[in-house]
Amino acid sequence: MIYTVTFNPAVDYVLRLNALSQGGINRTASEEICWGGKGINVSTVLKMLDTESVALGFTAGFTGEALEKAVKSMGIDCDFIRLEQGVTRICVKLFETESSEETEINPGGPEIDGQAIDKLLHQLDNLASGDILVLAGSVPKSVPNDIYETICKRLENSGVLIAADASGELLTKLLKYKPFLVKPNHHEVGEIFGCQIFNADQAEACALRLRVMGAANVIVSMAENGAVLAAEDSNVYRIGSPKGTAVNSVGAGDSMLAGFLAGYLRTNSYEEALRWGTAAGSATAFSKGLADRPTFDRLLKEISQ
């Protein structure tokens, strides 16, 4: 089973407008509500790919209740820990049609105390060998910044496979626990190694360095320039991005992670899993929301030709 953890889920209020007038009154062209948070995004795309998962994390207040109800209505199993104080945050996403610019307003979210963290850790103690645990995104200020490391240390030698989509110290501190997969983008890898990445050769070099530091498999995604996978079978796989117009960056990385995991479980092939990940990530990038199955199937066929 795949388990996803979202420390700070969100109700995403997505507003599309022709142009944003600073300090003035703005009229939207359309609005929609999405149920967000990186782990929830992963679970949503896994469901689209007919791969079951359990969504874990923290919710609070009336917005948290609405989010849990929505996740369950999508057919996703969940076992969120309810916080007594605060509300699950509402994030505002502004998309400007004329400039193609995206603006995000993300609140901090409810405080997660030590007791709630302990409840999550006890939940994770029940995972079995062969299960996959997805740790995705940043953590709220109320959560210790070494929480990923704490989780990995607790699950060390349990046989649970860790897949992490994180940046900075959240990522580097867990490498010594030999995670199954890490998926930083080229900007995040550049920050880790103090360099800029402009091509696949540079991405490959960094991916191999992360493997030496402990990760079994490393994907470095480069948006429209494709991705590089340094795999535990000692091969390096490169892939380009399919043709399409990018209209949305929210959730593309989460979709790639979900696609890779679903593809690997389905085919037991790292190369094919990278195709699945690229198709899923691109399907989200080319859509107003998360990837849908027809777009994924079309792009996977295009990539595989």
Residue-by-residue DSSP string for 116-137: HHHHHHHHHTT--TT-EEEEES
CA angle 177, 228, 233 (to 5 degrees): 55
Nearest to residue 107, comparing CAs of 8, 175, 178, 17? 8
CA distance 251 to 104: 13
Distance of CA 72 to the CA centre of its chain: 19
Q: Could you read off the pLDDT of 155-164 as tens digits, one per residue?
A: 999 999 999 9
6-12 mean pLDDT: 93
Sign of CA dihedral 102, 196, 224, 51: negative
Label residue 304 by pLDDT band (50, 70, 90): confident
CA angle 154, 155, 159 (to 5 degrees): 160
CA distance 49 to 45: 6
Any idea which residues carry the catalytic annotation? 254
Q: Which amino acid is at 225?
A: N
In terms of Cβ atoms closer than 10 Å to its own Cβ (0-12, 13-18, 19+), residue 219 is buried
Scanning the structure block, which residue is given the tokens 């110290």?
169
CATH of 2-6+38-67+111-304, one of 3.40.50.10280, 3.20.20.410, 3.10.690.10, 3.40.1190.20: 3.40.1190.20
Label residue 132 by pLDDT band (50, 70, 90): very high
CA distance 205 to 208: 5
Q: Could you read off the pLDDT of 171-183 as tens digits, one per residue?
A: 899 999 999 999 9
User: Which residues, listed in sequence order, are joined to residue 255 by a DSSP beta bridge?
Assistant: none
Scanning the structure block, which residue is given the tokens 């595989």?
304
Nearest to residue 35, comparing CAs of 63, 5, 67, 58? 67
CA angle 20, 70, 75 (to 5 degrees): 130
- Main-chain phi, psi angles of 163, to 5 degrees: -120, 120
Domain regions of the chain by residue span: 2-6+38-67+111-304
95-114 mean pLDDT: 89
The pTM score is 0.91
What pLDDT, on a 0 to 100 scale, did the predictor assign at position 250?
78
